[in-house]
Chains A and B, each alone.
Chain A
């Protein structure tokens, strides 16, 4: 089973800052990686698929990069609505792959 490790677990940042979240896979997943945002009380929302492709309606301040085992999600200028928990997930094949344990972005 492929394990995804996200870091850091929690990140305290101020609005307007740039942040980079990390997701590391225990073995190569190619570009078969997605990022989700989850605001408390809501369902997760797909941000990025294929490691770097923004989902429909996702603002350009969100960008994804990486391949194989190292991936990053960058938010160029944090807005108030971006404070949430972020998960990565791989989808190399069926069945759908596991999620990382999440990174919580909180307001400094």
Chain B
């Protein structure tokens, strides 16, 4: 059974930093692209950042480019999101989300999601 467990959320002041982590189990982690998706209170999901299965390709939404950094450690089955210079509008639940295949096969949806970790910027 695939499990994605996020951690690291909390309250942070504007301009501060936070590092989110996602621990994956029940899958061959290195075979799949992964993403972070956030959801602000009362809003729909918003893709934030994605990374290829080997970690060499990274993508960011314009709203976080230059402030957030995604990374993965395939030896530890973990996905991270380093959040710097956070703003009030970054307040949201952050989900770790798995893609159904490698990035080299092109675009894909999110077939498994973690339960999320809440980030509050205030």
Contact = CB atoms under 8 A, between A and B. Distances in A.
A96 B107 contact: yes
Given A43-B115, A87-B44, A96 B110 contact: yes
A95 interface: yes
A3 B80 CA distance: 29
Nearest to A93: B107
Interface residues of A, number: 24
B111 A49 contact: yes
Contacts of B110: 34, 36, 44, 46, 96
Interface stretch (B9-17, B21-29, B45-53, B71-79): B45-53
Nearest to A43: B113
Interface string A89-104: 1011111111111100
B41 to A, nearest CB: 12
A95 B59 contact: yes
Interface string A13-56: 00000000000000000001010100000111110010000010
Contacts of B95: 43-44
Given A94-B59, A96-B35, A101-B44, A46 B50 contact: no
Interface of A: 32, 34, 36, 42-46, 49, 55, 87, 89, 91-102
Interface of B: 35, 44-47, 50, 57, 59-61, 95, 99-100, 103, 106-116
